[in-house]
């Protein structure tokens, strides 16, 4: 009976059947969508629902039993906390190191001037993700504090709910400039636009954006979740991550 069950599980995986839901940090939007598309080539009958948001809010949802099969965080600490509490069932795995950039769609933006852009006369609103629950916002605040600019800019700062909303504030003109994830400015729509210039922030100005993931308690019996978990560690998936500016750690 056990052998028959195992065979059925393997056959299901081979046929590419099944469904799952993935919660992921917003900085992964374009990279993870690309990884998902590649994965579905070998799992054509599978259904994968993607939910993107701030890592902190995702952590709370996973802790409260939300029906997510995999959790991708921009903060490795969140994954470790969930693992310690039994909400993540696989050992926390570091999958990438993220990077921050200063970006704007204003023609006055000069990438070579770096942080000087944020104090320029044309900048009335500066946006970062909310440091209270968004790792990229936490690190953006650290970088600004290291440059002694946070207190100066605080009256101008507009907080995004997550890093994707922060980028959208810049795109829409709700903010003149801001600090967002490198992965978002490397997205095809931006990379091919006239506003592709950005300033890469020195990662010594903030704590490392160590990003981790794991299979949740909800997804522990889902073969599709295990397949995606393994695929994400493949050379093909890592190549995609590098394309979007992530540093992929070595074991």
Q: What is the pLDDT of residues 82-94, one digit of tens each?
A: 999 999 999 999 9
Domain that holds residue 77: 2-97+209-243
41 Cβ contact partners less than 8 Å away, ≥ 6 residues apart: none
Task: Give start and end residues of each alpha helix (H) in the chain.
Answer: 2-15, 29-41, 55-63, 76-84, 135-146, 150-153, 163-172, 182-185, 188-191, 223-231, 235-243
Domain count within the chain: 2
Res. 76: pLDDT tops 60: yes
Neighbours of 145 (CB within 10 A): 13
Predicted local distance difference test score (pLDDT) of residue 87: 98
Mean pLDDT over the full length of the chain: 92
pLDDT, mean of residues 169-186: 96
Res. 139: pLDDT tops 90: yes
Q: Is 81 helix (H, G, I), strand (E, B) or coil?
A: helix
Q: Packing angle between helix 223-231 and helix 2-15, nearest 10 degrees? A: 50
- Residue 251 inside a domain? The answer is no
Q: Is 82 helix (H, G, I), strand (E, B) or coil?
A: helix
Residues 179 and 107 grouped into a single domain = yes
- Residue 250 inside a domain? The answer is no
Residues 165 and 91 grouped into a single domain = no
Instruction: Report the percent of the chain where pLDDT is more than 70.
Output: 93
Residues 133 and 217 grouped into a single domain = no
pLDDT, mean of residues 210-221: 97
Residues 88 and 130 grouped into a single domain = no
Predicted local distance difference test score (pLDDT) of residue 171: 94
* Residue 251 binned pLDDT confidence (cut-offs 50, 70, 90): low
Predicted local distance difference test score (pLDDT) of residue 181: 96
Res. 71: pLDDT tops 60: yes
pLDDT, mean of residues 13-29: 84
Question: Tell me, what CATH number does 233's domain have?
Answer: 3.40.190.10
Residues 162 and 120 grouped into a single domain = yes
Residues 31 and 84 grouped into a single domain = yes
pLDDT, mean of residues 222-236: 96
Please report, in angstroms and rounded to a whole number, the separation of the first and last CA atoms in the chain: 38
């Amino acid at each position: 009976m056990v052998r028959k069950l195992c065979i059925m599980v393997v056959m299901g995986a081979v046929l590419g059947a099944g469904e799952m839901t993935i919660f992921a940090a917003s900085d992964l939007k374009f990279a993870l969508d690309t990884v998902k598309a590649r994965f579905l080539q070998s799992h054509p009958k599978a259904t994968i629902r993607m939910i993107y948001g701030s890592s902190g809010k995702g952590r709370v949802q996973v802790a409260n039993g939300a029906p997510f099969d995999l959790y991708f965080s921009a903060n490795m600490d969140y994954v470790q906390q969930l693992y310690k509490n039994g909400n993540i069932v696989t050992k926390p795995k570091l999958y990438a190191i993220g990077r921050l950039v200063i970006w704007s769609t204003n023609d006055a933006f000069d990438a070579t001037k770096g942080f000087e852009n944020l104090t320029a006369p044309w900048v009335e609103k500066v946006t970062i993700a909310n440091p209270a629950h968004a790792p990229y916002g936490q690190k953006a605040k650290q970088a600004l504090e290291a440059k002694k600019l946070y207190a100066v800019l605080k009256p101008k700062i507009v907080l995004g709910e997550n890093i994707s909303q922060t980028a959208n504030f810049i795109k829409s003109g709700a903010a003149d400039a801001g600090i967002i994830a490198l992965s978002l400015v490397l997205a095809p729509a931006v990379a091919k636009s006239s506003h592709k210039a950005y300033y890469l922030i020195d990662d010594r100005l903030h704590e490392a954006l160590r990003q981790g993931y794991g299979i949740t308690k909800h997804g522990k019996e889902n073969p599709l979740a295990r397949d995606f978990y393994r695929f994400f560690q493949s050379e093909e998936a890592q190549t995609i991550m590098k394309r979007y500016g992530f540093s992929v750690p070595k074991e």
